[in-house]
């Protein structure tokens, strides 16, 4: 059964400030040096043609150089125009190279951590020492303290402390264990303590580290749909202005004067949106880089961009909204059973349960001095937990069948055995649910014995984070296998908008499809094989690094820190990417207005004195006006590189508020700043010339 219940929105919101992630320095010495070299390499026409706007500037530069060499008239002016246009192209290439350089630096670091190590592989009953390069999917290896994990895999036996700093950057070792949520290991990580048995899950060249290196290098980055659309728009504007400039000599000849080729080229360069054209690629690369530096690997720029448009987030309760370390706190008998009978049932049901919850039941039993004998498992058939049945247990050698699971599932199972439901069962289950705990019911054959109280708590600050998402216009939906009463208690405490109780894997897909059918983009997190279909269905699927291989393959993002709540920050990074692109596009188009007022009157006021009225900046001469506009057009690109790398400051706001903010800061600023900059440059040029 799936219940979907609307949860009231809290009346008071506590807006937070900056996103929790902090961008690192955009540029360092080694990256800048390499970026300078790469900027010259990118002058290759094969590369330049991929950026239509800058390709037009590059062609204009070559034409201006031709005028300088072959035409004596205005040679100094033509040479100056050539140099400025060359620097404009070089600065645009430098911006892209800086963005790529940060990814390549991280890729080099990952390559350094990738080494061929010796692995202890199980072959039949023997253990052989082999090269990690020879390991294949399905091989079993043993790794002890001081050894590196030879390949990606799943821990099938044991528990160990593992140093993953080479991959995640987190210096503190993490505990990985068989049967828990954190059973996945990555090749190249160091086992600090104990020994584990690992089943290899990838072939050579297909490991997670190999995929990371390919992704963060960014050399083969594909443009996102929004980026392609903006590129098409900017290219169309460039073609329109190119046609305008090409037909301009016809009108000037009619008016009785000629415009030289370099002046027409300067006009074209000032008309087309070169600022955003030079920074567009860098913004996209930097967006993926910011996600990577937040320890999330995005499979494509499209995933990052889609995160910025997310309207609904599907979240698991356990481990995401709550801490997830549900521990057995109490065993309550039902139906007049003695406490010893209830404990016998829960012990038998948990003997083969390797999850933290199962082990906590046995620890509670030992604390209460109840006998726990592993030999009770002899000859028993283990019934593993399945999301479809929502129960697990044992079929004992003596014929008894023990089951532990959700209250509704156990009740239906007992009824199938011909048993009856104790009158006080629902009361005990509801009591646990009202406390925000998870009740598990235990039965042997047709007899229900008791209720296990699994205690879990909501993570601090979750309500504030959901309030923040609400301010962005994002709806949160909590999915949980708990009964509606427990789900309602947790949802109320956490502050989510809606919740889905007694949720099965297919219910998650149904919720996602319902939201998508309403025109919403949906994000979700997951780590298990059962989550894989929903992760694939979601527009943004964030898989946990500790999760199963199926979940990682289905998702389009992987969180190296295995923190399910990071989807909130990923959404903020995506929104920051879209805001940065929009802000710089607004600034680029706005500063063209100032350049028009600088260069157009300068070209025409010699032949048409009445055009002097448009020289509102009172620039010194036509020559200084044109050169000032071109110089400003060139230097504004490197000046905006830090903003493109870092991204604009993100704060939750509505679309109308965002539009107003962009127009005020980047629209008005894009008009005012060039007026000031061009005037200052003109004064300096006038004093020099």
Is 585 known as a binding-site position? no
Question: For every residue of 394-448, which 3-state class applies, written as one string?
Answer: EECCCCCEEEEECHHHHHHHHHHCCCCCCCCHHHHHHHHHHCCCEEEEEEECCEE
Q: Is 430 a catalytic residue?
A: no
Specify whether the CB–CB gap between 295 and 165 falls below 8 A.
Answer: no
Select which of 152, 210, 316, 682 is catalytic.
Answer: 316
Is 482 known as a binding-site position? no
Helix (H) or strand (E) holding 295: none
* Residue in 228, 5, 209 with CA at minimum distance from that of residue 114: 209
SS3 80: helix
Is 139 known as a binding-site position? no
Rounded CA separation 552/613 (Å)? 64
Rounded CA separation 600/615 (Å)? 9
Centroid of chain to Cα 424: 47
Give burial (CB, 10 Å; 0-12/13-18/19+) of 82. Answer: buried
Is 445 known as a binding-site position? no
Rounded alpha-carbon distances, angstroms, from residue 489 to 20, 459, 501, 681 = 27, 14, 11, 65
Is 390 known as a binding-site position? yes
User: Which 8-state DSSP code applies to residue 614?
Assistant: G
Is 634 known as a binding-site position? no
Is 386 known as a binding-site position? yes
Tokens of 336: 């007049």
Rounded CA separation 350/404 (Å)? 8
Is 330 known as a binding-site position? no
Is 404 known as a binding-site position? yes
Strands laid side by side in the 327-333 sheet? 327-333, 447-455, 438-444, 401-405, 391-395, 381-386
Specify whether the CB–CB gap between 343 and 368 falls below 8 A.
Answer: yes
* Residue in 517, 630, 551 with CA at minimum distance from that of residue 82: 630
* Residue in 355, 344, 349 with CA at minimum distance from that of residue 402: 349
Is 459 known as a binding-site position? no
Rounded CA separation 426/554 (Å)? 39
Specify whether the CB–CB gap between 2 and 504 falls below 8 A.
Answer: yes
Is 357 known as a binding-site position? yes
Annotated binding site for Mg(2+): 527, 531
Q: Which residues are catalytic?
A: 316
Annotated binding site for ATP: 353, 357, 385-392, 404
Annotated binding site: 353, 357, 385-392, 404, 527, 531
């Amino acid at each position: 059964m799936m219940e979907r219940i609307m949860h009231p929105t809290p009346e008071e919101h506590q807006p937070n400030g900056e996103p929790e992630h902090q961008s690192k320095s955009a540029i360092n010495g080694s990256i800048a040096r390499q970026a300078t070299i790469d900027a010259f390499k990118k002058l290759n026409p094969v590369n330049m043609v991929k950026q239509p706007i800058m390709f037009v500037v590059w062609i204009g530069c070559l034409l201006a150089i031709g005028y300088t060499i072959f035409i004596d008239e205005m040679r100094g002016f033509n040479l100056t125009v050539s140099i400025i246009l060359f620097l404009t192209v070089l600065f645009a290439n430098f911006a892209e190279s800086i963005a790529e350089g940060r990814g390549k630096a991280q890729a080099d670091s990952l390559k350094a951590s990738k080494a061929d190590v010796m692995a202890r592989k199980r072959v039949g009953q023997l253990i052989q020492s082999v090269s990690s390069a020879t390991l294949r999917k399905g091989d079993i290896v043993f790794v002890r303290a001081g050894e590196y994990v030879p390949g990606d895999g799943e821990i099938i036996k044991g528990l160990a402390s593992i140093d993953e700093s080479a991959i995640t950057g987190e210096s503190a070792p993490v505990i990985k264990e068989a049967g828990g949520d954190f059973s996945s290991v990555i090749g190249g990580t160091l086992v600090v303590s104990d020994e584990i048995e690992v089943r290899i899950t990838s072939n050579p060249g297909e490991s997670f580290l190999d995929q990371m290196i390919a992704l963060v290098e960014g050399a083969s980055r594909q443009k996102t749909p929004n980026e392609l659309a903006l590129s098409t728009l900017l290219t169309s504007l460039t073609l329109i202005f190119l046609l305008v400039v090409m037909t301009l000599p016809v009108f000037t000849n009619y008016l009785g004067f000629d415009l030289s080729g370099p002046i027409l080229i300067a006009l074209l360069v000032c008309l087309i949106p070169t600022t955003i054209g030079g920074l567009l690629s860098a913004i996209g690369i930097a967006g993926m880089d910011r996600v990577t530096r937040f320890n999330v690997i995005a499979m494509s720029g499209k995933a990052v961009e889609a995160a910025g448009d997310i309207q609904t987030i599907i979240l698991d309760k356990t481990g995401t909204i709550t801490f997830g370390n549900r521990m057995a706190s109490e065993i309550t008998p039902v139906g007049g059973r003695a406490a010893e009978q209830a404990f016998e049932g829960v012990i038998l049901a948990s003997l083969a349960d390797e999850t933290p919850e199962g082990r906590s039941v046995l620890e509670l039993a030992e604390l209460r001095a109840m006998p726990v004998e592993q030999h009770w498992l002899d000859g028993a058939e283990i019934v593993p937990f399945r999301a479809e049945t929502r129960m697990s247990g044992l079929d004992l050698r003596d014929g008894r069948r023990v089951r532990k699971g959700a209250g509704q599932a156990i009740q239906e199972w007992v009824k199938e055995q011909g048993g009856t439901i104790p009158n006080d069962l629902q009361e005990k289950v509801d009591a646990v649910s009202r406390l925000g705990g998870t009740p598990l019911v235990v039965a042997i054959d047709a007899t229900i014995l008791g209720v296990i109280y699994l205690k879990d708590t909501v993570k601090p600050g979750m309500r504030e984070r959901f309030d923040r998402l609400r301010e962005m216009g994002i709806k949160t939906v909590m999915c949980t296998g708990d009964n509606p009463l427990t789900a309602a208690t947790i949802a109320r405490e956490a502050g989510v908008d809606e919740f889905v109780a007694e949720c099965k894997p297919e219910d998650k897909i149904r919720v996602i499809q319902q939201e998508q059918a309403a025109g919403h983009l949906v994000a979700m997190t997951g780590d298990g094989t059962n989550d894989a279909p929903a992760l694939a269905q979601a527009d943004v699927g964030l898989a946990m690094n500790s999760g199963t291989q199926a979940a990682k393959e289905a998702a389009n993002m992987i969180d190296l820190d295995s923190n399910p709540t990071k989807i909130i920050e990923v959404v903020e990074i995506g929104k920051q990417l879209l805001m940065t692109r929009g802000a710089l596009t607004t600034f680029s188009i706005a500063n063209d207005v100032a350049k028009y007022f600088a260069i157009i009157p300068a070209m025409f006021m010699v032949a048409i004195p009445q055009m002097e009225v448009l020289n509102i900046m009172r620039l010194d001469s036509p020559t200084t006006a044109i050169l000032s506009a071109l110089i400003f057009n060139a230097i504004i690109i490197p000046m905006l590189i830090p903003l493109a790398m870092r991204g604009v400051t993100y704060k939750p706001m509505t679309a109308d508020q965002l539009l107003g903010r962009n127009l005020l800061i980047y629209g008005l600023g894009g008009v005012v700043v060039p007026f000031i900059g061009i005037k200052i440059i003109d004064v300096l040029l006038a004093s020099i010339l």
